[in-house]
Amino acid sequence: MERQLVGRLNDHLRVMTGRSTGEAEKKSWRRSLPILARDLVEADLGKVEMLIEYQLPRTSKRADVVLAGVDRMGNDRYVVVELKQWSQAELFEDNENLVLVPGYRREVEHPLLQVKDYCDTIVDFIGALHGDPDTVRGVAYLHNAADPDVHDLFDLVQSERTRLFTKTRRGAFLDYLRSQFAAEPGAGAADRLLDSAVRPSKQLMRLAAAEIKDREQFILLDEQRVAYEMVLHAVRKAHEEDRKRIVIVTGGPGSGKSVIALSLLGELNRRGNTVLHATGSRSFTQTMRRHVGKGNRRVQNLFKYFNSFMDAEKNELDVLICDEAHRIRQTSANRYTRAAQRTGRPQVDELIAAARVPVFLLDEHQVVKPGETGTLEAIKSHAETLGFRVHHVPLEGQWRCGGSRKYEDWVLKLLGIDTDDDPEPWSGDDHFEVSLAESPAEMEAVLRGKMREGYSARISAGYCWPWSNPRADDTLVPDVRIDGWARPWNVKSDRAVGTAPASALWATSEGGFEQVGCVYTAQGFEYDWSGVILGPDLVARNGRLVTVRDRNKDPELTKRSVSDLQIERHIRNIYKVLLTRGMAGTVIYAVDRETQEFLADLIERRTERVRPA
pLDDT of residue 371: 77
Residue 612 has pLDDT above 90, yes or no: no
- What are 528-540's pLDDT values in tens digits? 899 999 999 999 9
460-494 CB burial, b ≥16 within 10 A, e <16? bbbbbbebeebeeeeebeeebebeebebbbbbbee
pLDDT of residue 117: 82
pLDDT of residue 545: 96
CA distance 411 to 68: 59
- What are 176-214's pLDDT values in tens digits? 999 999 999 999 999 999 998 777 666 655 655 565 655
pLDDT of residue 560: 84
What mean pLDDT is predicted for residues 99-123?
A: 86
What's the pLDDT band for 479 if we cut at 50, 70, 90? very high
CA atoms within 13 A on the CB side of 126: 25
Q: Tally helices (H) and strands (E) across the chain.
A: 17, 23
- Amino acid found at 154: F
pLDDT of residue 187: 95
pLDDT of residue 20: 46
Residue 215 to residues 89, 124, 254, 303, 505: CA-CA distances in angstroms? 36, 21, 20, 16, 19
CA distance 156 to 113: 8
- Cβ atoms of 19 and 334 within 8 Å: the answer is no
Q: Give pairs for 13-22: CB < 8 Å, separation 24+.
A: 13/53, 15/338, 15/339, 15/340, 16/55, 16/338, 17/336, 17/338, 18/336, 18/337, 18/338, 18/339, 18/341, 19/336
Nearest partner of 250 among 398, 392, 388, judged by Cα: 392
CA 217 to chain centroid, in Å, comes to 22
Phi, psi values for residue 527, rounded to 5°: -150, 165
For Cα atoms 597, 599, 604, give the angle at the middle one, nearest 5 degrees: 95
Residue 399 has pLDDT above 70, yes or no: no
CA distance 341 to 208: 31
28 or 356, which is more confident? 356
Does this model's pTM top 0.75? My answer is no
- Cβ atoms of 75 and 135 within 8 Å: the answer is yes
Rg, the chain, Cα only: 27
223 or 538, which is more confident? 538
Burial class (CB in 10 A: 0-12, 13-18, 19+), 275: buried
pLDDT of residue 81: 97
Phi, psi values for residue 113, rounded to 5°: -65, -40
pLDDT of residue 1: 43
Q: By mean pLDDT, which of 43-52, 473-482, 499-508 is the weakest?
A: 499-508
CA distance 409 to 170: 70
Say how many C-beta atoms besides its own lie within 10 A of residue 144's C-beta. 18
- What are 321-339's pLDDT values in tens digits? 999 899 899 888 877 677 7
What mean pLDDT is predicted for residues 139-163?
A: 94
Residue 414 has pLDDT above 50, yes or no: yes
- Cβ atoms of 374 and 367 within 8 Å: the answer is yes
387 or 270, which is more confident? 387
What mean pLDDT is predicted for residues 61-86?
A: 94
Residue 605 has pLDDT above 60, yes or no: no
Nearest partner of 533 among 591, 481, 491, judged by Cα: 591
pLDDT of residue 8: 47
Pick from 82-86, 128-132, 496-500 the range whose average pLDDT is largest: 82-86
CA distance 96 to 79: 23
417-443 CB burial, b ≥16 within 10 A, e <16? eeeeeebeebeebeebbbbbbeebebb
- Cβ atoms of 106 and 222 within 8 Å: the answer is no
- Cβ atoms of 291 and 216 within 8 Å: the answer is no
CA distance 90 to 149: 8
- Cβ atoms of 442 and 612 within 8 Å: the answer is yes
405 or 318, which is more confident? 318
Query: DSSP character for 365?
Result: G
Q: By mean pLDDT, which of 65-69, 331-335, 506-510, 602-606 is the weakest?
A: 602-606
DSSP states of 484-537 as a string? Answer: TEEEPBPPSSSS-BTTBPPGGGTTTSTTGGGSEE-HHHHTT--EEEEEEEE-TT
What's the pLDDT band for 608 if we cut at 50, 70, 90? very low
What mean pLDDT is predicted for residues 253-277?
A: 85
Residue 15 has pLDDT above 80, yes or no: no
CA distance 170 to 177: 11
pLDDT of residue 394: 86
What's the pLDDT band for 58 if we cut at 50, 70, 90? low
pLDDT of residue 424: 92
Residue 435 to residues 377, 417, 424, 432: CA-CA distances in angstroms? 36, 21, 15, 10
- Cβ atoms of 578 and 462 within 8 Å: the answer is yes
What mean pLDDT is predicted for residues 25-34?
A: 82
What mean pLDDT is predicted for residues 202-229?
A: 63
- Cβ atoms of 506 and 515 within 8 Å: the answer is yes
Residue 610 has pLDDT above 50, yes or no: no
Task: Give the 3-state secondary structure of residue 223.
Answer: helix
pLDDT of residue 290: 73
Pairing assessment for the beta strands 95-100 and 90-92 based on DSSP bridges: antiparallel
How far the first Cα of the chain sits from its last, in Å, is: 73
Burial class (CB in 10 A: 0-12, 13-18, 19+), 66: buried
Burial class (CB in 10 A: 0-12, 13-18, 19+), 595: buried
Q: How does the average pLDDT of the chain come out, rounded? A: 85
pLDDT of residue 495: 86
CA distance 412 to 366: 12
Task: Please state the three-class secondary structure of 385-448 as a single string.
Answer: HCCCEEEEEEECCCCCHHHCHHHHHHHHHHHCCCCCCCCCCCCCECCEEEEECCCHHHHHHHHH
- What are 483-516's pLDDT values in tens digits? 999 999 999 988 889 999 988 889 888 899 999 9
What angle, 0 to 180 degrees and rounded to 10, lies between the N-to-C axes of helices 257-270 and 223-241?
A: 40
pLDDT of residue 309: 93
pLDDT of residue 401: 60
Q: By mean pLDDT, which of 43-57, 142-156, 216-230, 316-330 is the weakest?
A: 216-230
What's the pLDDT band for 14 if we cut at 50, 70, 90? very low
